[in-house]
Amino acid sequence: LDWANRLWNWSSDVGFIDPDRFHVYDGADSRDNCSQTNYHSFTYTSGIYLYGAAILADHTGDQLWKTRTENLLRGAGWFFSPFENATNVMYEAACEKNNACTADMTTFKGYLSRFIWQTVKLVPSLRSEAEKWLLPSAKAASVSCSGGVDGHTCGQRWYVHGFDGIAGLGEQMCALETIQGLLIDDVDPPLKGDKIKVVRDTKWVPLGAATTTSKGHDEPTSTGDPQPTETEDSANVATAHLGLVLVSIATILFIF
């Protein structure tokens, strides 16, 4: 919590967070001690700060963090409604209009959508404000997913009322994140406080593979199942750990 406050104060002092409009800017350069702010702004940057503030509002119950969350959501509003005929539709303002989005930029709207939906879960009072933007965006995103040979490839610019001919992983991801947010009521909010547990016991096997009796021997889960050997148990654990490593690496590559 102390570092969260330090981060907020430093970001504000250096100019990354606009104190009036609560736009979040792209960054600065350490070579000049961050004295010159880059005033480009991307959807994901606002989303990261928004969700961070929402987590802290939920964790601390402090009105200060709730107010910051409210302000950041309002500040993210400049990423919606690029044209009069596309009311409250999300767009990547820094690159979409001039077709200059790089591969990573095409994923950014997905992050903002995800973070806004998750913010609603943590600060429910912001739901109507969030849905004012996300519902039209989800509808526009679904309409964009009408291209390609399969007829459901998603486009990049949702404000054109259809598939714009620009497709890729980022475009698919952004549409998915925005649309699947409509299922937010079907999931529990993130764990917090004493509900978060650190599990250090790695002697486990996948669900349905085996159970352990009071004697410490593995028993089949159903009649006729072969009893796992110690080697198989180790292989299960190793495979699970490898899977977690691969998922982590994929996540890091996807983000950066």
For residue range 48-63, what is the model confidence (pLDDT) as tens digits? 999 999 999 998 999 9
User: What is the pLDDT, as a whole number, of residue 198?
Assistant: 78
Alpha carbon separation from 78 to 20, 82, 233 (Å, rounded): 13, 9, 53
Q: Report the pLDDT value the prediction gives residue 210, as an integer from 0 to 100.
A: 54
Q: What is the mean pLDDT of residues 70-96?
A: 94
pLDDT at 214 over 50: no
Q: How confident is the model at residue 25 (pLDDT cuts 50, 70, 90)?
A: very high
More confident residue, 16 or 250: 16
163 falls in which pLDDT band (50, 70, 90)?
very high
pLDDT tens-digit readout, 89-135: 999 999 999 999 999 999 999 999 999 999 999 999 999 999 999 99
90, 112 contact by CB (below 8 A) = yes
In this prediction, residue 222 carries a pLDDT of 37
Cα distance between residue 69 and residue 88, in whole Å = 19
The total of other beta-carbon atoms located within 10 Å of residue 115's CB is 25
Mean pLDDT within 163-179:
96
Cβ-based burial of 203 (10 A; exposed 0-12, middle 13-18, buried ≥19)? exposed
What number is the average pLDDT over the span 64-69? Answer: 97
Q: How far, in Å, are 9, 24, 52, 214, 240 from residue 198 at the CA level?
A: 30, 34, 22, 24, 17
Q: What average pLDDT is seen over the chain?
A: 84
C-alpha distance across the termini of the chain, in Å: 25
**What's the average model confidence in pLDDT over 157-179?**
96
Instruction: Judge contact between 123 and 52, C-beta under 8 A.
Output: no
The whole-model pTM stands at 0.75
CA 97 to chain centre: 24
Question: Does residue 128 or residue 217 have the better pLDDT?
Answer: 128
